Every structure is written in C-alpha cells, then in structure tokens.
Structure 1
C-alpha cells in the first residue's frame, strides 16, 4: 500500500503519518532551499527511509513540473548500489514527497570536515572515489547529468556512499544553464567560459570537473580554490602554471598528472570519466609524504589523528565493461602533516 502522508500546516512541525501507514516518522534530517528531509521507519521493509518533503502550495505549473522532473530522473537512475534508491513518490494536498534510502551517518562533507576524513588513507580514498565515479558513470549511461556533484550530496552508509539530490540534473548532453550548481565545484565553462565566452557546455565534462574537486577534498581535506574564474587568484595561478597546486599541496607527480588532465580548460581534451576512475584506482601514491601523511585543515587533522584502524573490506567497482577491486579502508594510515595555509577550507554552499 502506498504510504499516505498527512502534511501539517505549521512549518515548525513535520508532516504526520496516518496511523495505518507503514511509515513511522521520526525526526528531521535537514532543511534545503526547496524543502525538508525527514527520517522515517518503514515497518514493512524494516528499513529506515528519508522523506524529502516539498511544499507545492503557491507554485506555478512550471515549478511543479520542476519537482516532477527531479523525481523522474532520480527514478531513472535508481537501482545502482551507489545511488540512493527512490522508492516512492507521493503527492498529497499541498505537499510532494520523495521516499528514498536513508543514511544515518550524515554526508561526505561532514565526514571530511568533522569526523577525520580520509587524509592519508589512500585505500579509503580509492574506495569512496570509486563508488562516486561508478554512480556518476551509471547516471551518464542513462543520459542523466547530475550538475550538482559535491560532498553534501553524497550520503554515508558505513563504508558505502550513495549519491542523492537530482534537483539540478538534466538530460541535455549540451547545456546552456550557466551557473547551475555549487560555486566551489563549477567548471569554468559552466560559468560562461574562462578565456572567451561560450554559448553552451558539455554536461558530462562538467560533472568530471566537479569530481576532480571532490578528489582534492578527499585527499587533502580542502578545496583547490574558491571558484574556477578569473577573479580567483589561486585558480588564475593554476591557469598560468598547471603545476601550481603541486607547489602549495604535497601532491605526488602521479596525482598531479591526473589532476591536470581533469582541470583542463578545454573540456574536449578533459579526461573522460572512465579513464579518470581507472587512473585514480591505479595511482600508487596521492601525496609526496606517503600513505600516512598529507596536508589537511587543522580540524580534519585533529579528528583524523584519533581514528582507529579497521579490517579492509574488498569492494568491486564497475566502469563500463571493466571491474576494479580495491579495499574499502586503510587500517594503518593516519593524518599527520601541516596546514599549507594557501588553499581554502571546505565550506557548505546551498
């Protein structure tokens, strides 16, 4: 039976579950620009669910269609182990509900910035990045381009991560929706171009650029720059010298070569997603300091210093017709090193 949610008129209270429904509402997980997310227990599947609740009262037909578009694209890519499955969509009264997988350990952003992160943990970085890349590759194979890839939209399920929030996703391989996404993760062409103005951009290549920033997040606990635009001094320095990041971060030559191929201003020459994923999995060292040492923000370093090891768990990733096997955790490495003081720390952007 389709769960029926009884919306509450007050913004201070969550929607209420009718007594004979399978879902038992618990508490709020978060609030976004377009709605709130609640946690609920499904008594039939005996699984926790996340309910994205969007108020539709006052929205015009175009805005209502936008909400339906998100659900349609999310449903299209559901079923992949690294994408939160959209189980049901319910529209009642003045509310639109999306019922999906629920992770109880927060998002990747909080893991990186508040709970130790992955600095110095090469096997864990390969595991997490491999899962994210596999999810995005699955989306692309279905003709869906996320356009808002960032740690806040990647939910933790133990050693497994799942991609969420397809509110900005598109099925257009070539897009002209400039500025669509979060500032730290936007490619230059998504902002209109760096050297010269462009009229459109490659949606898949834009996702690859965002994944490059996420990889820097994982390895160093920082962003490479605030925005990939001429106003940003760090990015401008990188454009003049594409080895610049290696001068401010303890980045290995191997990772530097990968990053330069990803942060390529010419999107046609940018590394493809399958090749990007393969090269990360095959990288022998991400940093010049070795597996157990790398640069991090003070907050991430302090948290990582107290992390304890765990047995490695093999995880298989699929990139096209290839399969790669790596361990999900590095049970020896801990973050040491010191803050470079140059790259910006991670900040949450709506």
Structure 2
C-alpha cells in the first residue's frame, strides 16, 4: 500500500473546524461519564466518597469500597465502547455502507455461535479461549456475509450487505438456540452473556481485551489515510497508489479483532459502532484520520452512558447495557436508513 497522502485532494486533509474544542469537550464528557459510572448504581455514593475511594486508600468505608469495585467495570466499559466504535468505523469504510455495524452484519452473532459451541462441546468457560473462538466466528461470518453480498450484479452494495447480514444473523441465532436448548447448563451460563453486559468487567478482563484494542486501533489509524482514498471508489483509490485488496483485508482484520474480543468478554452488544461513527461523521466530516480516533471516544461515551442508565433504571438490580443500546440504536438505524436511502459512502 503506497503512500497516497500527497495525491489526495487537499480539501480532504484539512483539520475539521473547531477540532481541538470538540476533542476537549469529548474528553471532559468522558471524565464526567466515568465519574457517573463510579457514583451511580444500586447504591449511590457522593462526590467526596468517590474521591476517597479513588485517592485515599487508607479509608476503608463501605462507600469507598463500592467505588473501588466499580473502577474495573468502568475501565472495562470504556475499553469495550472504544473497540466497538472503531470497529464500526472500519466496517463502514471497508464496505462503503453507512449503516454497517458488527451487529447488523451478523459478525456479533457469528462470534456468539462459536463461543456457545465452545461452552457446549469443549467445556470452555474462561475468557482467553473464548476470545479466540469469538475471533474465529467473527472473521468467518464477516467473510461469508461479504461473499454473499458481493454476488450478482453491482457487487457488494449496501442493501445487499445488510440483507446478507440480517439473513446470516437469523440463521446463526437459530443454531445458537438449537445448541443451547437441550443443555440447561449452557443456557444458564450463556443467557446473561447473550444480552450483552459489562457487569462482569474486572481487571483481568481489561488486561485480556487491552492488547486487542491497542492492535486494532493502531491498524485503524495507520490505514485511515488510505481508507480516505477508498471512499472515492476502488478505481480512483488504485489510481492514487492504494492497494485496495490489501487495505480491505487489513482494515477488516482490525474490525474483526476489535469486535470479536469485545463480544467474547461482554456479549453481543449492538449499535454502538453505528451510533459512535455517525455522530463523529456528523460533527467532523468524512476524514477518517479524525473519525476513527474520535469514534473510539464516542463509543466509550455511548457504552458507559448506557451502562449507567441501565443501572439507574433497573435499580436495585440493573438493566443490561445491550438492552439499552438496542432500545436507543434501533430507532436511529431506521431513521438513518430512511434518510440515507442506504446510499454508499
């Protein structure tokens, strides 16, 4: 993949207007959301108690210990949201589909099928083997959906990819149910994971997902300039020196490892990638050098806010974050489909 930055139209390389202000506001919102995640839940704590829990380890009060237990969940939520946001941006760019998302294209369901198969047939319940199963399932499903969506006249159009993803997701969901129903122990283990939740977030989970998040984000940032060229069309990108086949494989690989690792640990949480990327495109424009890293921030914001809302609404229990994101994301998906008429990017 050659360096095409010097040959791309100059207007696509301008810094978005007020970018520094937008970045600063996003970081402030991220800090506020993280604080809300530490303070709110089935048992609320005050600001001073949160500060005690964070910065005064000698204090051993009940409220300070609650805050300390919530730190790992908050960090895990931020990591998962960032991974899903970047994954959504990559999938939309690779497929040139404005409503592409790991959940819409069936990638989450493919990861779920492999995870539940590992639970049922291989007695796998720990995080590390589940991640590799989820990556295999997510990658295989992505290849299958893209292959089906590319058949026929016009190639991989947005509407064909969405239909292929929906059909594949429905078929794989049926297989997941067929594996679970005769096995009560698998159903008990799988049912909470299937909804999508960050409630099991721990420092070991953060350490497990961290390398995948870093690797996927680095690949996404490195490929962003060439993905800008890909938005002009394959022929135009090739004319600018971009090896489109290699680029698609690299970007799709990054999207799959981000989505697969997150799905393995938190379940198939939908719509975060769709919402995060569209918000950033609306604010910043189409330049992926800015959209991709900012999608990580907006994805972290969306997932953390949804987790806090689920805990507040479901108090004294909690409403799983996957339910909250689906409730918010489904109407927005319908609105986007109506407004864009499923145009290509």
TM class, shorter-length: under 0.3
Taking structure 2 as the reference length, the TM-score comes to 0.28
Higher helix share: 2
Taking structure 1 as the reference length, the TM-score comes to 0.27
Higher strand share: 1
Specify which structure has the bigger relative contact order, considering alpha-carbon pairs within 8 angstroms and separated by 6 or more residues.
2
